[in-house]
Structure 1
Amino acid sequence: MKHQIQSTFSAALLLLTTSCLFFACSGKKETQYKIAYNVYYDTLNDDYEVFVMNMDGTGKKNISNSPGVDWMYYTYKDKIYFVSDRDTTHRMYFLYSMDADGNNVKKISNLRLEDSWHNTRNEGREMIVSGRVGGEIRQQLFLIDTETGTYEPFVQDTASSFSDPAFSPDGKQVVFRHRQQKRNYKNEKSELWLMSADGTGKRQLTFFPESDTSAEWFVYHAGPPKWHPTENFISYQSFRDGKYRLFAIKPEGGEAWRLIENTTGLEEDWHSWSSDGKWLTFGMADYSKGHVDVYLMNWKTKEIKQLTDSWQYEQAPVFVEVLQ
């Protein structure tokens, strides 16, 4: 009996140790997450749905369940924010929120949004978005009070385009995609720019290599930026040498570098960081076959795990905190 107990204990210890290799177990109580992601659910009816799953890829669940476009771009703690055309006409987007079970759906504001990532500061109370007013004022930055739904211009330069804004972790800066001449979209590349949170000091951060002629005008030369929560860099997607890759750059500027090592031959799709900076989730794609799946990386160990493999397009994952 003693040897049997020792054998059972050893097996349990081995299982715990193996699990800790990926999930980096420690004695400290760490933030727990689920992953929300977008699925091209019904291609014939242009139906996009928001799903959630556990960190190991189990428990996949459709939480939006609405015909039309529901696309999740951002989460704050346990709240999911998504753009939707559910109460309007096809692809006319407004901002909504819900919890990780798809309950408590709420329309946040009457500001019409562009198809763009967004971000918050001040404990989630203040959201920066790319929005539009009428037919002329488009791709401009606004601040939305997420509790009252009121909004105001953050910066308006109607000759230029602004999209995919993200506050720095301290809320004092904003990084965004920007093109100075909006109507010159086929010749001028959208790059990442930075400015102070008071709207001053705008400067260009990324510079797409002039020697790279593989990128058509419509691809991401510098894709939606993500500020790492604890390390001093900004990550983004860029089409280089004929493929999408994830890159990183310091907010002070300088040379960009490849964010991850990827020898699969797959392209790297949209990505997000966990709020503690310990996890990276991203898509990997074979665009020639129209297939994108969600992956998870332990940022410390660099181990990568594939989490999805069903619908053709499962992408743009974001972490949702699980309340303890």
Structure 2
Amino acid sequence: MSKIFFLAINSLILITTACNSKNQRASKEKSINDYAIIYNVLVSDSTDNYDVFKMNLDGSEKKNITNLPGVEWSYISIGKKVLFLSDKDTCRRCFLLYQTNYVGENPKKVSDILLADSWMSSRKNGLEVIVTPKADSAFYIIDLEGNIQSRVETGLPYSRDPVFVNDGHQIVLRGGLTKSKLIPGFNEELYIIDIDGTNRNQLTQYPKKDTTAGRFGYKAGTPKLHPTENYITYQSKQNGKYSLFAVSIDGKKHWKLTENVQNEGWHDWSSDGKWLAIELFDDSQTQFHIGLMNWDTKELSILTDTTYKYQQSPNFVLKN
């Protein structure tokens, strides 16, 4: 009786393990199939023509989803919505905000506010977006009808690339102590502020002895929030190479995020935290690719080819 009982238990364990393994594989496949990657491509250098492209997580079905003559850049997708900046209805590089889906259907204008070239973030289940108005160091929080909900003063001469943290109650941003990198004393770092602009604290500190970023390289590039592990990731040129680094929300813990051979730049996390899309490039910046890392295994795949030189700024969008 005892032997039969243990055989039954062992069989049940084997069946349960097999089912769990099958479910994990199915979950992984579902994650892969549900996402697409949106990225920006320099289609024509001579005409300064950038467009927004999409592709599957295996690099298949690449498509130009904006296909316009001017400059189109996407820095955020919200669920199934792809938001992108475009100068198609204004002057050169005078950007308004538009939205479409991952295959470029039914594009429409979101806002008449002139915006800076800056990453964005959303809160309240995608109902509100934080953007950077052109020629301003403040941020606007707008709804998807383009209405301004609030203005956030940062107290810094230069503020870009805001990301909501702590359920939208705080903002992490890339800030400078002068209005431009052209002005001495810029000292780019990441900061965190409350949603009303108060209680500003510096999160990063670029190594004082490191001069390899020079005047114009990123010392603390665009911040991104890991959606499940709740820390900030960013690019920084240190020891002569662009790499991804991380910092806790309270600024108490700092670490190097990845160990890729290539230079690493703008990046994005999938909403489930399982995938990391990274802009990768060589030291001379002669070729830019989009890579995809499985965050559990750290396996990295290159998804793009050499059809275009500049393939940058990936972000994840849901297909279904």
| Structure 2 residue 278 is matched with structure 1 residue 276 | no
Instruction: Tell me, yes or no, if the aligned pair for 1:169 and 1:227 is still in contact at 8 Å.
Output: no
Q: State the match for 1:25 in structure 2.
A: 25
Distance in structure 1 (CA, Å) of the matches to 2:27 and 2:121: 32
Distance 1:37 1:305, change over 3 A: same
Q: Kindly provide the CA deviation profile for residues 142-193 of structure 1, in whole angstroms up to 9, marking residues without a partner as x.
A: 11111x2112552236761110000016222210011233267432212100
Aligned to 1:166: 163
The structure 2 residue matched to 1:154, chosen from 151, 155, 160, is 151
Alpha-carbon shift at residue 28 of structure 1 (Å): 8.1
Q: Following the alignment from structure 1 to structure 2, what is the Cα–Cα distance between the partners of residues 270 and 84?
A: 19
For residues 190 and 289 of structure 1, the distance between their equivalents in structure 2, rounded to whole angstroms, comes to: 22
Q: Which of 126, 129, 139 does residue 128 from structure 2 map onto?
A: 126
1:268, 1:285 within 8 Å by CA — same for their partners in 2? yes
Match of 2:284 among 283, 288, 293: 288
Match of 1:192 among 180, 190, 193: 190
Deviation at 1:255, TM superposition (A): 4.3
Number of the residue aligned with 1:87:
89
1:109 to 104, 108, 111: 111
TM-score by length of 1: 0.86
**Residues 27, 299 of structure 1: alpha-carbon distance in 2 compared, 3 angstrom cutoff:** closer
How many residues matched? Answer: 297
In the alignment, the residues of structure 2 paired with residue 289 and residue 267 of structure 1 have an alpha-carbon distance, to the nearest angstrom, of: 9
Q: 1: distance between equivalents of 2:154 and 2:174?
A: 14
Distance 1:117 1:27 in 2: 30
Identity %: 43
Whether 1:305 aligns to 2:307 is no
Deviation at 1:256, TM superposition (A): 2.1
Matching of residue 97 in structure 1 with residue 65 in structure 2: no
The equivalences for 1:220-299 within 5 A come to: 220-262=218-260, 264=261, 266-299=262-295
Counterpart Cα distance in 1 of 2:123 and 2:149: 15
Q: Which amino acid in 1 is paired with 2:315?
A: V
Q: For residues 27 and 277 of structure 1, do their structure 2 counterparts lie closer, same or farther at Cα, with a shift above 3 Å needed? A: closer
Cα offsets for 1:93-123 (capped at 9, x unmatched):
1111111111111111111111000011011
Q: Which stretch of the first structure deviates more once superposed, 198-207 or 54-63?
A: 198-207
2:55–2:62 contact (8 Å) kept in structure 1: yes
Show structure 2 runs of 5+ residues with no match: 1-17
Give me the TM-score of the superposition, normalised by structure 2: 0.87
CA displacement 1:118-152 (0-9 Å, x = unmatched): 011011111111113xxxx5232111111x21125
Does the residue aligned with 1:215 lie in a helix, a strand or coil? Answer: coil
Distance 2:186 2:159 in 1: 13
Most deviating of 47-56 and 212-221: 212-221
Q: Distance in 2 between the 1:218 and 1:287 partners?
A: 15
Structure 1: runs of 5 or more not aligned: 1-16
Matched to 2:164, the amino acid is F
- The question of whether the paired residues in 2 share the 8 Å contact of 1:113 and 1:131 is answered with yes
Aligned to 2:201: 203
Give the letter for the 1:25 counterpart. Answer: R
Q: 1:28 to 1:169 in 2, by over 3 A?
A: farther
Q: How many Å separate the matches in 2 of 1:141 and 1:93? A: 15
The DSSP-based 3-state class of the residue aligned with 1:25 is helix
